[in-house]
Amino acid sequence: MAVWKCPQCGHEQEARCKPKKCPNCAEQGPFTKKEGEKKDK
Ligand SMILES: [Zn+2]
């Protein structure tokens, strides 16, 4: 699963798909994908 970070409040959401809405601040802006581990390079 990927970790998505809200650009507005920095809330991190773990989800398979890109969240449409931030559960913390209701920001609908673009979430940024946060790569935890880079297995394949
Ligand atoms: Zn947020």
Q: Is residue 41 part of a domain?
A: no
Distance CA(5)–CA(9), nearest Å, equals: 9
In this structure, how many other beta carbons lie within 10 angstroms of the beta carbon of residue 31?
A: 24
Query: Model confidence over 15-27: pLDDT tens digits?
Result: 898 888 898 998 7
Residue 36 has pLDDT above 90, yes or no: no
Q: How far is the CA of 19 from the centre of ligand 1 (A)?
A: 11
Is 22 part of any domain?
A: yes
For the cut 70, the answer to whether the pLDDT of residue 31 exceeds it is yes
- Confidence grade of residue 35 (pLDDT, cut at 50, 70, 90): confident
Mean pLDDT of 22-33: 87
Asked if residues 7 and 32 have their Cβ atoms less than 8 Å apart, the reply is yes
Q: Which domain does 21 fall in, by range?
A: 1-35
Does 11 fall in a domain? yes
Contact 11, 25 (CB under 8 A): yes
Rounded distance, CA 39 to CA 41, Å? Answer: 6
Percentage, residues of the chain above pLDDT 90: 34
Residue 37 has pLDDT above 60, yes or no: no
The Å distance, Cα 21 to ligand 1 centre, comes to 8
The size of the chain, in residues, is 41
Is 40 within the bounds of a domain? no
